Amino acid sequence: MKFDPDPDVKVLLPDGSQKSLLTYQLPSAILVLAALLLVVSMFQPYWSITMTAPQYPKGLTVEVYVNHLEGDMGEIDGLNHYLGMPPLDEGGRFERQISIPALAMLGLLLIAATFIHSKWAAILALPALLWPVIFLADLWLILYTYGHSIDPESALGGAIDPFTPPILGTGKIAQFGTVAELQAGFYLALAAVAVILVGLWFHRVAYKPLQDARKRIKTQEQSAAS
C-alpha cells in the first residue's frame, strides 16, 4: 500500500493529468534532509591522524574539524619546532575561517533547490555534491604544503626529507608511524551526497512530466496558430 498523507489532494498538470501532492513534497523533504546532514557534519571531526613512536606509545593524535583542530597539537608543534615548521594551526587557517559560512551556503542552496522546478535544481545542488571531494583535495594540499615547509637551517632540518602525510591508511614520517582516517563529519557529508542524489532523482520524477506537459501544450498551441 502506497503511503500518501493526502490522498485526496492532487496536483493538476497543464495537460489535464493529475499527480499526488506527495510526488512534489518528497524531493523537497529529501533535499532539506541533506542540508541538515551538512549542518550536523560541522560539529564532528572530518579527519584524524595518529602518530606513534617508541617515546609516544599511546600516540599523538590530531582531529580536523571544518573550523578548528583538536588533539595533541602542543606536543606535535614542540617536535616540529626543531624542524623549523610552523604551528599546525597555521595550515588551512583561511579554509577554517570560511568553512562554517561556506557549509551554511551549501545548505541554503539545497533549500533553494526545493523551489526550483527544472534542471537548475541540480545546478544549485552541485556544490554540495562536490564538497567531500573539495575537502579531500584541499586537505591534501595543506598536508603537502606543511610537509614541505621544513627549514633546512633549523636544528634538525637536515635530518628529515620533505614529506606529505597520507590522507588515508598507514604511513611513516621519520621515526613516527602514522594512521590517517576519515571521521564522522566526512561520512555525514558523504551521506548528504547520497541523499541529494536520491532527492534529485525524485525531483526529476516529479517535475519532468510537468515540463513535458508544458512543452506539449506549447507545441499544440503553435500548431493551432499556424
pLDDT digit string, tens, across residues 152-167? 777 665 667 788 889 9
Element (H, E) at 32: helix 22-41
pLDDT at 205 over 90: no
Residue 110 has pLDDT above 70, yes or no: yes
> Considering only the top CATH level, what class is 10-216?
mainly alpha
Across 170-190, average pLDDT: 92
pLDDT range class, residue 213, cuts 50, 70, 90: low
DSSP 109-172: HHHHHTT--STHHHHHHHHHHHHHHHHHHHHHHHHHHHHT---TTSTTGGGS------SSEEEE
44 pLDDT above the threshold of 90: yes
Round to whole Å and give the CA distance between 79 and 83.
Answer: 7
Spatial neighbors of 73 by CB under 8 A, at least 6 apart, are: 62, 87, 88, 89
Domain coordinates in residue numbering, the chain: 10-216
| Among 178, 175, 139, CA closest to 156 | 175
Q: Which residues pair with 182 in a beta bridge?
A: 47
What pLDDT is recorded for position 1?
A: 42
As a whole number, the mean pLDDT across the chain is 85
What's the whole-model pTM score?
Answer: 0.85
Average pLDDT over residues 51-57: 87
Residue 209: which H helix or E strand, with range? Answer: helix 184-225
* Predicted confidence (pLDDT) per residue in 58-85, tens digit: 899 999 999 999 999 899 888 887 777 8
First-last CA distance in the chain:
47
Confidence of residue 56 (pLDDT cuts 50, 70, 90): confident
Rounded to an integer, the average pLDDT of 167-178 is 88
